[in-house]
């Protein structure tokens, strides 16, 4: 009988199969995580807009709404699986965020992102996000 040898890479084959299956699911997972994070930031932003009393320079948040247009204008737009934009299509929303020469900035969106980074991200992700956000 001739000498036979055979090596089975059964564990490696299974591992490779799992990796291949995972590669197909990774974009969907990124998409889900991006959408979830965007939804959280949008909710925080709306909370920062929805006060009953108009804000002041000393108490900038919540901004305070009169007509509800500012709150209705807040939207989440998914650009791709890795990016969500939080936008407000009300013309004066930029003045609320950045201020004017007569009014101090209120920063409701920046505060929402900061709150998300501080409260909802795991520690390692928080360090990366803070570094990116602060640049």
Report whether 119 contacts 37 (CB < 8 A).
no
- Span 57-97, pLDDT tens digits: 778 888 887 788 989 999 999 888 888 899 999 999 999 88
With cut-offs at 50, 70 and 90, classify the pLDDT of residue 29. confident
Q: What are phi and psi of 61, to 5 degrees?
A: -130, 145
- Span 98-130, pLDDT tens digits: 989 998 888 899 999 888 888 876 666 666 666
- The C-alpha atoms of residue 26 and residue 109 are separated, in whole angstroms, by 29
């Amino acid at each position: 009988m001739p000498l036979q040898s055979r090596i089975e890479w059964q564990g490696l084959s299974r591992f490779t199969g799992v990796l291949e299956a995972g590669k197909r699911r990774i974009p969907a997972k990124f998409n889900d995580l991006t959408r979830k994070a965007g939804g959280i930031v949008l909710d925080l932003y709306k909370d920062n807009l929805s006060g009953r009393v108009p804000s002041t320079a000393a108490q900038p948040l919540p901004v305070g709404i009169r007509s509800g247009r500012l709150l209705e204008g807040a939207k989440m737009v998914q650009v791709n699986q890795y990016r969500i934009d939080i936008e407000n299509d009300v013309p004066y929303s930029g003045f609320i965020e950045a201020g004017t020469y007569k009014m101090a900035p209120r920063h409701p969106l920046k505060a929402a992102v900061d709150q998300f980074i501080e409260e909802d991200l795991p520690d390692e992700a928080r360090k990366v996000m803070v570094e990116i956000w602060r640049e």
